[in-house]
Amino acid sequence: MAVTPVVLALSQSGADVAHKIAAHLGAQVHGREGRVDKADVYFANALDHARDLFAAGTPIVGVCASGILIRAVAPLLADKTTEPPVVSVSDDGAVVVPLLGGHRGANRLARDIADHLSGTAAVTTAGDVALGVALDEPPAGWKMADGNAKGVMAALLAGQPFTLYGSAPFLEALQDAPNVTLAPARATRSVGPPPVRLVADDNPGLGLAWYPQQFVLGLGCARNADPAEMWDLVTGLLDDAGVGFEAIAAVASIDLKADEPAILDCARLLGAPVRFFDAASLEGETPRLANPSDVVFAEVGCHGVSEGAALAGVGQDGDLVVEKVKTATCTAALAMADAPMTAAPGRSRGTLSVVGIGPGQATWRTPEVSRLVADAEELVGYGLYIDLLGPLAAGKIRSDFPLGGEEARCRYALEEAAKGKNVALVCSGDAGIYAMGALVFELLGRGPEESGVSDAARRVEVICSPGVSALQGAAARAGAPLGHDFCTISLSDLLTPRDDIIRRLHAAAEGDFVIAFYNPVSKTRRTLLAEARDILLQHRPADTPVMLATSLGRPEEHVRYRRLDALEVDEVDMMTVVLVGSSNSKLAHLGEGPRMYTPRGYARKIDGDLSGKA
């Protein structure tokens, strides 16, 4: 469980226990407004708050009744292999119940909390209860190979005889099981310790294996080397050494190769994190290299990339166990630490997640965006947009930028990611629609002479995640105004010449598109919306419906309808989306008020079909 949990306190009676748990776990306390005196973050609605955290993949420890957490997350349950742990704790700390994610850290977390509070962990998972161990939940530094953990556990509980070859601290409880025989580990490698295996005596095909992760694979390559060539080299090296993929704690290289597909694909196929070191760090490993090279030094500033990275990855107590092997464009080497590695040194590649959080309502934010925000170390964006994240922003480094200065905002986010950080660039709506997504790629596409970004920034991973745009939010509130062809036009002439905007208005008017106007007005820009209205009136009826949607998805949301000829600039601001219907758009007057829609022509099609049959 890599993500730090959040501790929820729903009442003052459980606040003391919540703070004890949080201090023990190094976590934050989120408290209910008006009911908890002291907390790091306050929330108004417990169900919504817990749901947001769960959707973002954040482990939850709730000092509250179990039913509250169950009702909160129940609508989101889908895949137990990916859902975060959820644990409830009684107000007095006497009982700790892992509700979800027992084999994803919840059972272990519950026991840890119960031990700290001198309470009882109400673990109900069969293996934990009967044997005191979760076979598919090894601790950091160990990795289980693919296997039928459920089948093995069922056979163990049924009393079938098994043999445990080797030992590991987390399997001590299993060693005392009456139907488990202990035996020495069976060596399967030419280097390093063998895996620990549990095998059914009467069915050798039923078993599990756990590998101590003590190896770091160092890689180097020419620019744009063939990933298939690298993979063949690596699999050959590991096969000759008798080292399983699961034993690889990390893949390592020089930071200049942080965007090399051959290295990144190899790490992905191995299921291992990738870490990078600068040339100075790798040069410090020169005395331990088996094959130092002046040619490599002249090229990248260190005497060995693959051997140096492998050694840097395992530290001074580790050793090089497989010297550099190479092809025409790739090199690989293997080093071994003196014990299972719980963390990989070096820095990660660096990630910039460009996310759209929707118009502002938490329930309109996608689970993927919530997860990317939760995973980020630093949040960058306009301060109001970060504030709209609520609990997801709590406790994170945040760099607020004012409106305007968008290039500085994107440049900063890219350069921070270049340091190996996980950064989220927060936009409203969808980040790729009139937002920062395009500017990020524009900066990455510029050369140094065009005020681009650093070479390190060009090597970061950029993830774009879709969001609910203001256009979609307005359309949903209206009904179905986008039922036929539509377009969007920004009325801001800060970056687009006014003549271009006018030309697009005429084209959209003549084409009879439904039109969503973004950035319709500002304090100093008041005329283009009126011009747009007058242009559209030349091509569509005066009673064409217009929807004005302000502050969508927020408590102050305000939606109203106007005729096109009655559209007034003064009732529109920068927080308003203006949605103008086509000549076919209509209002349906329902009990709760008017709803706007644009027919797709089904009525005409049906009439035509019927007339044809007649």
Condensed to tens digits (0 to 9), the pLDDT of residues 82-137 reads: 789 999 999 999 999 999 987 678 888 998 999 999 999 888 765 555 566 778 88
Instruction: Spell out where 11-100 has E strands.
Output: 28-32, 41-43, 60-63, 86-89, 95-100
Q: Which CATH architecture has domain 215-336?
A: 2-Layer Sandwich (3.30)
What is the pLDDT at residue 146?
87
Strand, helix or coil for residue 344: coil
User: Residues in the chain, how many?
Assistant: 614
Query: CATH classification of 6-124 is 1.10.579.10, yes or no?
Result: no
What is the pLDDT at residue 103?
67
Location of structure tokens 């606040």: 15
Strands in 60-63's sheet, in edge-to-edge order, are: 41-43, 28-32, 6-9, 60-63, 86-89, 95-100, 120-121
Q: What CA–CA distance (Å, rounded) separates 145 from 154?
A: 18
Break the chain into its structural domains and give their ranges: 6-124, 142-212, 215-336, 351-468, 471-597
Alpha carbon 230 to chain centroid, angstroms: 28
Strand partners, 216: 250, 335
What is the pLDDT at residue 129?
56
Strand, helix or coil for residue 240: helix
Amino acid occupying residue 579: L
| Residues ≥6 apart with Cβ < 8 Å to 189 | 241, 242, 243, 244
The secondary structure element, H or E, covering residue 9 is strand 6-9
Under a CB-based contact definition with an 8 Å cutoff, are residues 59 and 35 in contact?
no
pTM: 0.85
CATH of 351-468, one of 3.40.50.2020, 3.90.1150.10, 3.30.420.40, 3.40.1010.10: 3.40.1010.10
**Closest alpha carbon to 124 in 93, 145, 99:** 99
Under a CB-based contact definition with an 8 Å cutoff, are residues 200 and 160 in contact?
yes
What is the pLDDT at residue 614?
45
Q: How many CA atoms lie within 13 A of 457 on its CB side?
A: 21
Question: What does DSSP say about strands 6-9 and 28-32: parallel, antiparallel, or unpaired?
Answer: parallel
What is the pLDDT at residue 613?
54
- Under-50 pLDDT residues of the chain: 1, 614
Q: Which CATH architecture has domain 471-597?
A: 2-Layer Sandwich (3.30)
